[in-house]
Chains A and B, each alone.
Chain A
Amino acid sequence: MGIAATIREPAEGLIFLGKKSVDPILRTENLWKLYRAGKVEVPALRGVNFEVQPGESVAVMGPSGCGKSSLLYVIGGLAQASRGKVLVDGNDLTELSDAARTKLRRHKIGFVFQRFNLLPTLTAKGNIAIAQFIHGDGFDPHRFEVVTQMLGLAGRLHHKPSELSGGEQQRVAIARAIINEPKILLADEPTGNLDSKNSEVVLQMLRQLNKNLGQTVVMITHNPEATTYFDRVVHMRDGVIVDGVPAD
């Protein structure tokens, strides 16, 4: 079966359904991730069952080493699951080849990292535009303008990452992540390298994306204050989800 045939195209006329129970955009079933350390297999995820509805914002919280990042990488298709299922918009990542997961990631997932991970040789504009280029639809000036205006980047587009503040770099990273309208935005400790002021700005922007555009957001954090910007908080410990309660 070809790559194209294994990935369902997004449904036309998708309506934002808020927290209503529909087919989840993301679901894991008994998800295991094992890492090999010499001859020993170390489990990072031990049977995670987890669902995210379209348009939902979820914060995954837990101490260091509990498996949060592993969960993010597996549901983002960057790492292959050892056992179980990962369904992203109906596509089981565990059954896809590396190339098919790459294609799915390109069309349905956007990543924001703790260390921003901008390409140092490109300007802010280049860092955003390269995501459009890889996506394959070419440069869309209208979408580009809307996103950069929304994130307050209009005056900083011709600067390289080294010339931007941490907050500006993270906003460029968010712009890059959402420029292709992904189904899910995955954020890995996006405020981990920011001061409190910039952290608040970034968290506000993630909330706006969720509330105003219906962007599904899954964020990993160990900061309890950051979770207040999200619909739901999921706690992880020792590679498993220990609860999942609506945030205050």
Chain B
Amino acid sequence: MMGELIARNLLHRPLRTLIGVLAVGVEVALVVLIVGLTSGLLTETAKRIEGIGADIMLQPPAASIFLGFSGSPMPIKIAEKLTEIKYVQSVAPALLQFSSTGGVDVVYGIDPDSFRAVSSGFVFLEGHDMEGPNDLLVDDWAAKAKHIKVGDTFNLLNHDWHVAAIIEHGKGARLFVPLATLQDLVGAHDKASIFLIKCTRPEHTEDVMEEIRHVLPGYTVRPLKDFLSLMTSTNIPGLQAFIDAMIALAIAIGLLVIFLTMYTTVIERTRDIGVLKSLGATQPFIVRALLTESAVLCLCGIGAGVGLSYAVRAAFLAGFPTLSILITPGWILRAAGIALAGAIFGASYPAWMASRKDAVEALSYD
């Protein structure tokens, strides 16, 4: 009977119910998408860097784990010191440069031979390896997003490149150019942003890292197999605060709309509440009826929010193939919990107000 009462009450004002459902849906979708976008980008970036296949990355002192953020490249001669260390099989320098041509990208300037030595090489889907100074390798996702084909001329960093190949994604960057050309373009002769190091055996990684710290004190040495664990929102200054603020904003939207919906519901049903009281409905009964109604509204909104999240993700990925939005069951559940708690909290005052109504006054309400 309670179920029928709630269902009929919700259907009685379909537009108001729809607005409430949409508000909760937007709340849930905002939480899921904001978290999904940040964690998706971080995870995808980390996996790409892990996918290079090297064992160790060397960066300048106090460098960020977000490659390309560091502004002080290292002398390329460091590579010689590194190759002398026991258990080091190969070293590949790379110069990293931000590009904002048709989106934000980090371009890797590499020496094809040494990069191949540390990473076991690219998988070529189309075209051939770098042969000339203006050759550009593009991964398949970037090629799709930027509509690039092999043989095209592509302007990047105010320089016209010849697209030599489309390669499989997952090797650190989406765009690769010859190291020497990039050094000339950005005025960083004989400099590198990172050194990728391959050990003779993976189990020697710790020993090599220890030796690097000894040889190059103060430099940042990271094992690449743990890179994913380092790429979290808490490691980016302000990102976690931004996520928290967005979640709080989403909760506020849901809570206020639920509050308003239930408040107007209670005002509209003043006489009905008086009738229920005349039939012997207790205060807890009335509170329970309204909170359950709010919870049902919220559950519909959660369903809509999950659907909306997947729809928005599909739309974004269609428009921006290099984006990564990670929608996880854990965050769907968390977003649902947040929305439900907000709905119950938002409906609490209207429900309490309804339960406290004077029956006689309520019955004479017009």
Question: What is the interface of chain A, defined by CB distance below 8 A to chain B?
Answer: 73, 76, 78-79, 98-99, 102-103, 105-107, 109, 111, 113, 117-122, 126, 129-135, 139, 176
Contacts and interface: CB of A to CB of B under 8 A. Distances in A.
B277 A126 contact: no
Contacts of A78: 277-278, 359-360, 363
B12 A120 contact: yes
B162 to A, nearest CB: 71
A105 B278 contact: yes
Interface of B: 1-2, 4-5, 8-9, 11-12, 271-272, 274-283, 285, 359-360, 363
Contact of A134 (B4, B274, B276, B363): B276
Contact of A122 (B4, B285, B363): B4
20 contacts: A73-B360, A102-B282, A103-B280, A103-B282, A105-B279, A106-B281, A111-B278, A117-B271, A119-B272, A120-B272, A121-B8, A122-B5, A126-B8, A130-B5, A130-B279, A131-B279, A134-B279, A134-B280, A134-B281, A176-B279
A130 B280 contact: no
A133 B8 contact: no
A103 B277 CA distance: 10
Nearest to A173: B275
Nearest to B362: A78
Contact of A107 (B4, B12, B280): B280
A76 B9 contact: no
Contacts of B359: 73, 78-79
- Label chain A's interface by main secondary structure: helix
Nearest to B272: A119
A132 B9 CA distance: 19
B8 A106 contact: no
A106 B280 CA distance: 4
- Label chain B's interface by main secondary structure: helix
Contact of B360 (A79, A107, A129): A79
B12 A139 contact: no
B73 to A, nearest CB: 71
Which of A99, A121, A132, A176 counts the most chain B CB atoms within 10 A? A121
A117 B4 CA distance: 18
Contacts of A132: 1
Contact of A126 (B4, B11, B363): B4
A38 to B, nearest CB: 16
Given A117-B271, A117-B363, A139 B278 contact: no
A98 to B, nearest CB: 8
Contact of A113 (B1, B280, B281, B363): B363
A159 to B, nearest CB: 13
B5 A99 contact: no
B1 to A, nearest CB: 4
Given A119-B272, A176-B279, 11 more contacts: A78-B278, A79-B359, A102-B282, A105-B278, A106-B281, A118-B275, A121-B5, A121-B11, A126-B5, A126-B8, A129-B1
Nearest to A79: B360
B279 A106 contact: yes
B261 to A, nearest CB: 16
A119 B275 contact: yes
A176 B281 CA distance: 14
Contact of B275 (A76, A98, A117, A135): A117
Contacts of A99: 282-283
Nearest to B2: A133
A67 B139 CA distance: 87
Closest 10 CB pairs of A and B: A106-B280, A133-B1, A121-B8, A121-B12, A78-B359, A111-B278, A105-B280, A117-B275, A134-B279, A134-B281
